[in-house]
Structure 1
């Protein structure tokens, strides 16, 4: 899929930041795997994992509700 966006110059956000931000949020919501998100951002998996904190996204995407349920099953 190809997507074209018009971002006003006044935002001072460059194309790299937009790709990183979109990839991070899609990873956070589970829409993309780490590898897919890294590819969207144009980065290696390791590099992408290292920038997730800039967008308040955790590398470990394990919801508390699932963790609690799994712990109760043990």
Structure 2
């Protein structure tokens, strides 16, 4: 199931960013997915789905933000 909501984006913002509305929304979804992954609120699979990417693509996208998918605990 998908939920559709309407958001309003001032045209001047899109013009300043040189993006279409669809490009802006796609970027918002990816940015939200990265944040939710960093905050451990969603899994890789859920974030990939939110970002409308495959898991492999999303992992590569995370690396562009220096976000790793492995966490190490140095406590011994």
When the two structures are superposed, what TM-score results if normalisation uses the length of structure 2? Answer: 0.68
| 2:35 paired with 1:35 | no
Structure 1's unaligned 5+ residue stretches are: none
Paired residue total: 66
Higher helix share: 1
User: Which stretch of structure 1 is more off in the superposition, 7-16 or 37-46?
Assistant: 7-16
Which structure has more RCO (C-alpha within 8 Å, separation ≥ 6)? 1
Shift in Å, 1:61: 4.6
Match of 1:23 among 25, 33, 36: 33
The Cα of 1:6 is off from its aligned counterpart by 2.9
- Cα root mean square deviation, aligned: 2.3
